[in-house]
Structure 1
């Protein structure tokens, strides 16, 4: 494939596998499609650096005037940017999307006579299935944010996204409505005193400034047509306008400006959620909340309230006033930065299927474990600075002290090895088992593990190492955390469990592994989880 400025991109040699792996160009948007695990060569006529997926590769000169950078996209599918740099300065940027033939097997598409379009369509279908399932399953988990007790004002919504806003609005509609209704009933006012020129009959209070304005502004004096006492002191004249003060109560307070700002923000995000997810999921709770917010916005009070220019975070009214303190709490929860949803939305935008599968697997496990352990509820913990609290992360809770943590780190102070499994199942504070989500299709059986290990020594390959690495990791988790089981969640075809007594169970399901009372079987294994398919 010829690129601009004399650069050429091609697959290296004869690519293994049924798909040739040749790069493809999307004629309309300029995206270059590449394939996972395929080796590629980028050639140019000058020395350059290739930057891709946060890694830089220096081109090597193979002959006079010809430089080549070799790269391989391992364990990544989705969108990215390929940059060509010279002396640190960008020369060329090209959008890329990495595809994987594994998706064909997951979607049940035959490889015979496969084409690039077949693979691309399978990717779009699998991506859509993951996203729809995440949106469909996640609302079934009641959602709460454990918000900070202190407050650092953050008025930016850069980390906000439609998926988080959907969960927030869906689960907090009643709280939002009650808080705003309380504010409207008990809206705080301030006494405003304004100096202005007015006609004498409008004056309610005479001050020294009023008298000075009469003496100093002769342009407002006119001959008296009637006998007025003041005319005796003004050579027969009377004032037509005088400077005085007008006092009145106004709703235009910093606290009400905050309430108006938050109201407009919620309406904007509700509209974005409906636009993004319309027709895909049940949006009736969000639509109902939006209707209530628009009704609240129609109140005449907001007409005299200005725009928020600064955040009144020291206001006692905002901290303690009825309705206001509830709005502040809701605002804290709405704007608290959550890497859980931020990273999920980034994966959605980048079509990062491996990461999406990991998030989907968490929701899927939480949902299915909820049927076994009962009363599932999703929690997001944030610290004062808005970051996820160390050790808590996001988790789903169940009855009788069960919790499924997402990406929780277990540090050396507690365990002999510092590890961070994708998902850890905890009972009353003790690790019971771990799950790791892998966007892969096959894993070696323990009885065949020695053969794979020997193959790695005699004919090493990245694919074989990736396969063995997960088996090593499962045993590491069990040993380091004293867990009773370690399971790989993957979109393959088989569900196999190997008990500690070497007995093999195939197929198996989560209800075979665990019950509300505890773990039923111990060992390692892998379980098939695919969007739209149970078990």
Structure 2
């Protein structure tokens, strides 16, 4: 365990000193303390803060030298307490607004200590900063009267998700689901959209998109599939051939022959030419057919790859030596390899984007490229208001984004189990006047799935935020409850409820860690700390309080057989009687980008269906 500290000398735009901001945190996973501050520049000093190339999701404060163009150098963690102290010897009678940018967006981040801090000749203000479940960029700064200090960028990472892999995956999934409404044939918004071409103020999302795009199972796999299954069409064209070699002469060819008298020559003693008064054409325009890959869909693929190359070049112009630049150069090599493929020699430039193409919307490989294209901007004329509200400012509230993401994963699992495709018009409420959409909730959010299982028919209705109360159609015999997701499973005359709650929260087994080192010698404690710092020991597990809530659902909501949390952790556990899958409560791990978790969720629902059928 060590105390980390960042000391920031805040200055105004004329480099006048306004005061010193100190941020202090306890790092439970490292104990390599230093006794002095080190300066990384004229404004920032660090104590017990590691200089790293890639930030982890455990250490409260880290400093990344390589991220200045894309991420902030100063890296912090969500749901972590930081002690804040601001000191200024200048004009202590002034009005100070500490952490101006942060508290302007969300005042609940910073709790001020209201007690005297000593020296009356120095302005001091202290408090506790906690970003809760928000991640992303913001700034440390102050405002003294009407003078604002220069802003020091900061980055808040996730504890529970891999911020540089799983977080982009979740955002990309949400972008894909929202855009799916555009391709729903029943939707009044079908194909009626355009991308917002506004310029970005930072390259932050661009780089994270590239990290997502170039994962092996994304663009590389999609491109390889397209190359092996290249879409083509038969194109007809006219070819001049000697009359004697013509094999496909029809009415249109004969009309063409007659319309060109200069193309004839005189022949004698040939019965074939009696109708032409002794003349035959030198050549004839014969219609032939040839398979061509120069079609709008392939032109679009070429256009997309060129678009990605331009994006990479733009980012390289402002990148510095290190991790970011190395990754961009790797991405550039890959995209140039794709563009150098022989297939693009026969493919011309794109004239228009074929939004109506069923190939782009449905054919494997092409469909993926089209969605990647839409994700580059992640900004449609079609606006998902609830999602966009979580992206206002710099911070993103992962708890709510994770809740939306889990909902779509449940829909995906149920669609896989049945023959019913997801109807996105049943999921989104559409405001046709201002082109906005919201998720349907409550009784209106019902999605029906018919599932065949071992010769039996099972019907499952999925609800989002369905209310159960004493007076509503859906009954709770005590208080009112509103689980995040509810499955109503019906087979013959039987029906059961199964509930899920998305819990974007977990805890490292820190309490257990301290229990284990009680009454141990210093030597034993040192060995245990070293063991605990191993990756296997730092497992993210569910919170017991969330399991208690699942018991409340199970016991209070009539006809409920199971209640489970979904969370981005390492452990799944079902609390049940004997070997019964239901009735039960428990926790299921579900993390973005983890296909095993999704497979396990599908298997778990299969087992519930099997138990209902009996």
Please give the TM-score of this superposition, normalised by the length of structure 1.
0.49
Please give the TM-score of this superposition, normalised by the length of structure 2.
0.43
| Relative contact order higher in (CA < 8 Å, ≥ 6 apart) | 1
Higher helix share: 1
